[in-house]
A and B are shown apart, each in its own frame.
Chain A
Amino acid sequence: MPIEVLMPALSPTMEKGNLAKWHVTEGDEVNSGDVIAEIETDKATMEVESVEEGTIGKILIEEGSMDVAVNTPIAIILSEGEDAATAISDTNTNTTNQDAAETPTTEIIAATEEPAPLTNQVEITVREALRDAMAEEMRLDDRVFVMGEEVAEYQGAYKVTQGLLDEFGKKRVIDTPITEYGFAGIACGAGMAGLKPIVEFMTFNFAMQAIDHIINSAAKTLYMSGGQMRCPVVFRGANGVASRVAAQHSQDYSSWYAQVPGLKVIAPYSASDAKGLLKAAIKDPNPVVFLENEILYGKSFPVPETDDHIIPIGKANVRQQGTDVTIVSYSRGVEYVENADVELKEMGISAEIIDLRTLRPLDMDTVLTSLRKTNRIVVVEEGWPTCSIGSEICSSVTNLAFDELDAPPLKVSGADVPMPYAANLEALALPTTNQIVEAVKKVTYRT
């Protein structure tokens, strides 16, 4: 039976990759462990080893092919006595069997109220936007440096710091040992001494080791010193739910940090906001917690082609104007909302979609302005429901605009459970399109 070699998934979030190079040609003998190809993902170039023994019968995807979906057959390996023609007719009967639950839709819905483009827009990924923001600020201010695990020679665990070592050298792009508590403290000390550290946490799950310094050393120092001592550190990294990495690697810390006076907390969705807000965060004299999302790193958005693209901290963005309901979210939650909006549109419901972008300070003005128009509000978040960002917004709108509400404010949160590993359970633990649609129907009294 001929064996198909499939495009491998080289990371939990990889959906497609480029077939950079074939190391074999048709007719070559291969043994288990032989390198047969090189695959480029958005994070890295990886060698693919054969797990079978046999002869390369047919190369199905040419070298240099871009965006080959995971699980696409890329070659056929023949056992003794088999021929290539049979093999190909067999593969035609197969289809890829990627699990839908694992694949977040990547459809991009155009923003309706992004800042009017004064300059050319280029499509770049969130990952590139973050890197560009750091590089631009490092060029402007030699006090800015980046430290964290694998940020330098490895080019970033998620490739966010790609290229920074080459440009800025090892003095300013610093690989640390795997000791978050220690290096977060060192960054705070360097910040107190007047430098402007950017600390990359591989993910915010590991920042729990360092949270003492984020809260006790960074957030409180200005107050405790009567305004004398600043600690301008940007703590950034992947936050929220990743893909199939289970409870200890999938958690949204938004409400934890948003509760702390003395911090600014940012959780962008689009690449444009990621870039503009990270630049603002680096320039800011206060400690900033900058919550990224691993799933969004590879997603592309238009970004103004300028090195002066700064988004003010503390301003929400109305991504879509609407009249029937206000839907508020942030970070990857915006993606859930925009997916659900497709169904809402089909139902004739006009949703105003607000991306908070900054979680502390919260831009309640923008939320309340929208609420006065729609009189109904739903908050969508990945995080746990208790004491969440959604809880805060529901409380605030009830206090500040009770008379404007035509229905109780609702939140659609992640399930109140540690994140499970199984694909089906993981999907159930995240806000679903159906939950969002149902919440909107409820506040608009539709059945």
Chain B
Amino acid sequence: MSSKSQKSVSKKDLYRDMLLIRRFEEKAGQLYGMGHIGGFCHLYIGQEAVVTGMNAVMIEGDQVITGYRDHGHMLVAGMDPNGVMAELTGRVDGYSRGKGGSMHMFSVEKHFYGGHGIVGAQVPLGTGLAFANKYRENNNVSLAYFGDGAANQGQVYESFNMAKLWNLPVVYVIENNRYGMGTSIERASSTTDLSQRGLSFDIPGIQVDGMDVDAVMEAGRKALDHARSGKGPFILEMITYRYRGHSMSDPAKYRSRDEVNEMRQDHDPITTLKEKILDDGDIDEDGLKQIDAEIRKIVNEAAEFAQTAPEPDPSELYTDILLEETA
């Protein structure tokens, strides 16, 4: 079907990707606490299996777009942890030259289209990426990630309608982490099976254990094949959980400590994968420790880089507002 090959991803790669996100986010949280990162900072800890699994089954050129909880999406897309962390600290070597911050980063090269701060806006934008794929007949699929909170936005349904009307190659990945900021899905949604939100548009959808990277990959393949084969959009509802608050400034009083602990202890995606790897015997404890050490090094370097890179020159205030040349 496609000349573009799917990546060959081992369990070790998956483990690395998830651990990189986990350690990166822990470091970001630490830097936030130290005052090096400002504003809003939404951590992805707990949800790592979702982007890791989906990334593993994408092909070259497939695009990703998401909301503001975007660090994990960028890291698995292959964006440089230094550049991401330096953007968090508002430095000129950040992906947006320090002008975007945590919620607004992009990489044309890595097909990562943001990083969007308006809840739900990435859904029509991602549908537009799919529109461009179909227009160009390039056989690529766009993945539009959004949360259970965004799933109630009107523009999501405007997008569903057009995506199916025109059979656009888009996979909608709903990361249902149970809370839209501090409001539980039960208190915000008249129906809570979000995988069925495409029914009235004739868009198929399934619920997936978003804490299990294997389950994510299996569902991801199905959804991507569906979209790539010209059948139009597909919805994946990833049942997942964020361990931290909505943002760094959220004390998360709306849920119990027990609830969080139960998820961490019994459903942690990294622990689950680690046990599978050890059971398979491909890598032993020492091998995993070696990966841990590599990741810590990468993250520490990123933190160091992000604190030493210079702030943008004051002249940057007035650059990148308009492009001068004609295209």
Chain A interface residues (CB < 8 Å from chain B): 145, 171, 176-177, 179, 181-196, 212-213, 216-217, 221-230, 232, 261-262, 264, 283-286
Contact = CB atoms under 8 A, between A and B. Distances in A.
Interface size class of B (residues with CB under 8 A): 35 or more
Interface string B116-128: 1110010111111
B132 A213 contact: no
Contacts of B142: 189
Given A225-B96, A227-B97, A229-B113, A192 B125 contact: yes
A312 to B, nearest CB: 10
Given A182-B124, A226-B98, A228-B96, A190 B131 contact: yes
Given A186-B124, A217-B125, A226-B100, 19 more contacts: A171-B135, A177-B162, A177-B165, A185-B128, A185-B159, A186-B128, A188-B124, A188-B125, A192-B129, A216-B116, A216-B117, A221-B114, A222-B320, A222-B323, A228-B95, A228-B107, A230-B323, A286-B322, A286-B323
B125 A285 contact: no
A227 B158 CA distance: 29
B253 to A, nearest CB: 30
A225 B126 contact: no
B162 A285 contact: no
Contacts of B123: 185
Contacts of A224: 96, 99-100, 104, 106, 114-115
A216 B121 contact: yes
A243 to B, nearest CB: 30
Given A216-B121, A225-B114, A262-B322, A190 B96 contact: no
A195 B135 contact: yes
A196 B132 CA distance: 10
Given A224-B99, A229-B106, A181 B124 contact: yes
Contacts of A191: 128
A195 B132 contact: yes
A149 to B, nearest CB: 12
A182 B159 contact: yes
B320 A189 contact: no
Nearest to B133: A193
Contacts, number: 153
B322 A185 contact: no
Given A189-B124, A193-B132, A182 B162 contact: yes
B34 interface: no
Interface string B136-178: 0000001000000000001100110110010000000000000
B46 interface: no
B237 to A, nearest CB: 21
Contacts of A186: 124-125, 127-128, 131, 159, 162
Across the A-B interface, the 10 shortest Cβ-Cβ residue pairs:
A189-B128, A185-B124, A182-B158, A226-B97, A193-B132, A189-B125, A226-B96, A179-B158, A285-B327, A224-B104
A193 B100 contact: no
21 contacts: A177-B158, A177-B161, A177-B162, A182-B158, A183-B158, A185-B124, A185-B158, A186-B124, A189-B142, A193-B128, A213-B125, A216-B116, A224-B96, A225-B106, A226-B100, A228-B107, A228-B108, A229-B114, A261-B321, A262-B321, A284-B326
A227 B125 CA distance: 18
Nearest to B327: A285
A21 B68 CA distance: 60
Given A192-B129, A264-B322, A225 B100 contact: yes
Nearest to B127: A186
Contacts of B125: 185-186, 188-189, 192, 213, 217
Contacts of B100: 224-226
A190 B128 contact: yes
B98 to A, nearest CB: 7
Contacts of A221: 106, 114
B139 to A, nearest CB: 14
Given A177-B161, A216-B118, A223 B320 contact: yes
B89 interface: no
Contacts of A264: 322
B94 interface: yes
B176 to A, nearest CB: 22
Contact of B124 (A213, A229, A262): A213
Nearest to B326: A283
B270 interface: no
B227 interface: no
